Amino acid sequence: MLSSFDWMIIGLYFLFLISIVSYASRNQKTSTDYFLAGRNVGFFAIGASIFASNIGSEHIVGLAGQGASTGLAMAHYELHAWIVVLLAWIFVPFYYQSKVFTVPEFLEKRFGKEPRWILSIVSLVAYVLTKVSVTVYAGALVFQTLLPDTFGTPQNAFWIGAITTVTLTGLYTIAGGLRAVLYSDLLQTIILIIGSSAITYFGLKELGGFHELQTFASQNVAQYQLWRPLSDPDFPWLGILIASPIVGIWYWCTDQYIVQRTLAAKDLKTARRGALLGAFFKIWPVMIFLIPGLIGAALNAKGILDINKNTNGEIIGDQVFPTMVATLLPEGLRGLVVAGIIAALMSSLSSLFNSTATLFTFDIYKKLRPMVSDKQLVFVGRIATLGVVILGLMWIPIMPLISEGGLYQYLQSVQGYLAPPITAVFLLGLFNRRINNKGATWGLSLGFLLGMTKLIIQAFFGEGKITNPKILAYIGDINFLYFSGILFLFCTLLICLVSYQTELPDENQIDGLTYQTIDKETIRESWDKKDIYATGVILGLVLAIYLYFSFWI
């Protein structure tokens, strides 16, 4: 339960947040001001926003839950700092030089209008099915666990928490646009790191030190190790190596949700350095989110922590982090961590709301009404934000039915079916000037159709579900990691086959949009030794964490 002092800390956080948003919300005169913060943002704000946007409540709650139930299996997704480096060095120059508002707009410049329409619509649907619903659901679980009796019943706490945070976040996003999102993310990043680090510290202190955690993990090597054998039904090491980069490149390098932060930079150097700073922040979730979940499982095994269990007697992973907050932390610090969880929820939602509004406004509404005024674009963006808030709330009741394996695993499996066609189109489009409109259109449309078909079949057919016809049961049981790789290979071959069998792309259209045609001299002038050193530090830290946890038990 939260004390009066805890509530005071939370209240101070909200007052500070309101003052930041009020300051940032001034002078929102043009669509560039509202959607890209006037393209005049510094690298620290960009890096912090990339991190805060990524680390939502589904990370804090869901990733800790995965740590408790599957150990370090999901750490591969959290060591994607090396892919954010790819964003900084490879993708950002293309986006920034093309002066686009959205990633689908870049796709239209490279391929034509059909790929832009496909990516825009799929992205909007995916945001509601994954990011909005999962983030809100995870945040509401925290309220349900920490404030079970404050609003009468735990279920009331769940719904009041969900509706309140979504409403408040929607209001400040509607009012302030991307500048409000970026500035508030600066505050929220600091609280996120401090709060989650506190959980790791107090958890290890209660457990008896890191060596006790190693001892516990070594007694359950098959469950908690970083690399799983090929026989593992959920996370075989080969499947991880195949699928993790495919999903990572889609999420970090081509998703409007992340890329929009770099588009707000005042110049190319700032955009790159902001992405590199985001990569540095991305190194730490293993230590401050995954490890606490593993600590929670160890504390539960020792009887120090009592985590709710399911009908099979297994701990409910998504209850681990909020239970640790309620049980282990002292007064005041508990309020700060709860503020951090709220910060994670609000930062991810605000980023998502703004990105969704930008996608809808520029890739759908403006395409249908090209002569619309700047003022009207801002108004439509605000209405679009309100719409996605409502859709996300409507999806929440479905979440308990489809996230039985854990929120984070649900998120990764859905993304594993969405990512392959997008990753294939962007990689081929940037590095092969022969890829054309028809190839991209076929790859995106058929790839998405196959991915969603697999998702639907998986929900109804397979072991423990409907077993006839056998072919559907077999498809339903294909590991999502392997299927992601199969789908990526299929889309790559399809895009190449169609492109090479049809007409050459217009040379004028692809000028500056492929590796062969981009202005390399301008790019070279935008970086120096500092950027090289920063990249070396980031990649070195990723390698060090991989080496350590590969042999730690």
pLDDT recorded at residue 392: 67
Contact 107, 425 (CB under 8 A): yes
- What percent of the chain stands above pLDDT 90? 40
Residue 518 within a domain: no
pLDDT recorded at residue 545: 95
Report the alpha-carbon angle 369-371-375, nearest 5: 95
Rounded Cα distance, 508 and 521, in Å: 19
Of 316, 323, 393, 413, the residue nearest 77 (C-alpha): 413
Rounded Cα distance, 107 and 363, in Å: 11
Q: Which domain holds residue 21?
A: 4-399+533-550
Cα 353 → chain centroid: 13
Mean pLDDT of the residues in the chain: 85
Residue 476 within a domain: no
CB neighbourhood size of 371 (10 A): 6
Residue 437 within a domain: no
- Which residues contact residue 116 at a Cβ distance below 8 angstroms, ignoring those fewer than 6 apart? 104, 105, 107, 108, 363, 367
Residue 482 within a domain: no
pLDDT recorded at residue 523: 92
Confidence grade of residue 404 (pLDDT, cut at 50, 70, 90): low
Instruction: With a cut of 70, say whether residue 410 has pLDDT above it.
Output: no
Residue 408 within a domain: no
Residue 522 within a domain: no
Domain count, the chain: 1
- Averaged pLDDT for residues 360-379: 85
Instruction: With a cut of 90, say whether residue 532 has pLDDT above it.
Output: yes
What is the residue whose two structure tokens read 């796709």? 107
381-390, 479-488, 500-509: least confidently modelled range: 381-390
Confidence grade of residue 201 (pLDDT, cut at 50, 70, 90): very high
Residue 352 within a domain: yes
Output the six-digit token pair for 422: 């997008």
Confidence grade of residue 58 (pLDDT, cut at 50, 70, 90): low
pLDDT recorded at residue 22: 78
Rounded Cα distance, 314 and 335, in Å: 29
pLDDT tens digits along 137-166: 766 776 777 677 777 788 888 778 777 777
121-130, 290-299, 338-347, 405-414: which has the highest mean pLDDT?
Answer: 290-299
Cα Rg of the chain (Å, integer): 23
CATH code, 238: 1.20.1730.10
Instruction: With a cut of 90, say whether residue 400 has pLDDT above it.
Output: no
pLDDT recorded at residue 165: 74
Give first-to-last CA distance, the chain, whole Å.
Answer: 36
Output the six-digit token pair for 314: 């297994």
CB neighbourhood size of 222 (10 A): 10
pLDDT tens digits along 332-343: 888 888 887 777
Residue 67 within a domain: yes
